[in-house]
A and B are shown apart, each in its own frame.
Chain A
């Protein structure tokens, strides 16, 4: 984040140069919104009991993050400093309303499952945080990329946590979607016929009893804590000194 904002922009900016690439890849691991910047944790915990809703949530956040950054960056010279928070909130709220109505029309079961958490993207600190830290001071195209990068970093954690919790909690992957597959243990009834999905559909460890603890939202705290541990022991520069 800091490196991208501080370096001087060259005379003729390439459309997709090295700096632009770091904007996209940096938030995925070393500057991840959830595990390093500690932004947007609320929804990461509550929606990740299954992979499919987490994936939908991730797509929604990438969309809102990218386009709110773009719009804010376009308007950045026109927004008075005193009311900038309210202007940003209105931009985000408009985009979230769009996502909400679209999801309601496209996939109602998932909409019911995510319930208030789609609305809570408005107060998701990632979106606000990137607007304040990046989009208010940078050109539209780079803000757009930064928004996509941070949305993807958030989505990555969401999907990883969702996958771990679903495999160990229900023994399945992508339950509730068209490509639901049973992975380990005895699967619940709504799984599609295991014969049609080939060997991936066959349950491997039939003796495994589903761990209901992983389905509870508390489990997400422990999964993310382990992710943080892994990430920081891999890269000691990230260790919290305070």
Chain B
């Protein structure tokens, strides 16, 4: 449990998917124009990362590694992600129309969000176990959610500011993300397992 919390905090804040690794930047920049849509996309990312990460872990461990098929990793992972997204979309549409309306068009978009595939690839290269990869998926998704909410709120405000015409929109979004990345850099190097971590009593 301590590991779970530590990896969650680490992947959400210290190694934030967007602000430290710049994964999922395309949808981050394109969908952060209004707070409401950013909220929907953020939720969908948490959802899909949390589901695909353990599935990919199981497939990687019991199919790819045990049969020495590692070179098929990319194709298998992207197929898992694409079909999971499709499946999740159908299930959510049937059982929870409210959530479906909230996530809306963002679910299919997520297939090509680098953060999802990147999460699975990081999981392999860092040799996480099943619990850790669930924590990494949820934490990474939560960090992504926080970052997109933050920038959407700032961009809604900045629309009323007097920005040079050439920098309007995309240019300012790049600058703002850079500044937010700098702010998050101050968290780097903190190891929650050693310093201020949550260590449960034995």
Q: How far is the CA of A46 from the CA of B118 in the complex (A)?
A: 12
The segment out of A19-27, A116-124, A170-178, A188-196 that lies at the interface is A116-124
> Which single residue of chain B is at the shortest CB-CB distance from A96?
B74
Q: Chain A residues near B71 (CB, 8 Å)?
A: 97, 101
Q: Chain B residues near A219 (CB, 8 Å)?
A: 178
User: Does A75 make an interface contact (CB < 8 A)?
Assistant: no
Q: How far is the CB of A98 from chain B (nearest CB, A)?
A: 10
Q: How far is the CA of A100 from the CA of B74 in the complex (A)?
A: 10
Residues of A contacting B: mostly: helix
Q: How far is the CA of A132 from the CA of B146 in the complex (A)?
A: 30
Q: How far is the CB of A192 from chain B (nearest CB, A)?
A: 31
Using a CB-CB cutoff of 8 Å, which residues 162-184 of chain B contact chain A? 164-171, 174-175, 177-178, 181-182
- Give the interface size class of chain A: 35 or more
Q: How far is the CA of A56 from the CA of B113 in the complex (A)?
A: 23
> Which single residue of chain B is at the shortest CB-CB distance from A128?
B112
Q: Chain A residues near B165 (CB, 8 Å)?
A: 232-233, 236, 239
The number of A-B residue pairs with CB atoms under 8 Å apart is 132
In addition to A217-B21, A218-B178, 10 A-B residue pairs with Cβ atoms within 8 Å of each other are: A41-B25, A86-B83, A89-B78, A90-B75, A93-B75, A93-B78, A97-B74, A217-B181, A229-B164, A232-B167
B interface residues, Cβ below 8 angstroms from A: 20-26, 29-30, 33, 71-75, 78-79, 82-83, 108, 111-114, 116-118, 121-122, 125, 164-171, 174-175, 177-178, 181-182, 185
Query: Which of A42, A119, A242 has most chain B Cβ within 10 Å?
Result: A42
Q: How far is the CA of A97 from the CA of B174 in the complex (A)?
A: 31
Q: How far is the CA of A39 from the CA of B25 in the complex (A)?
A: 9
Q: How far is the CA of A237 from the CA of B127 in the complex (A)?
A: 49
Binary contact readout A30-70 vs B (1 if CB under 8 angstroms, 0 otherwise): 00000100111111011000000000000000000000000
Query: Which of A85, A119, A219 has most chain B Cβ within 10 Å?
Result: A119
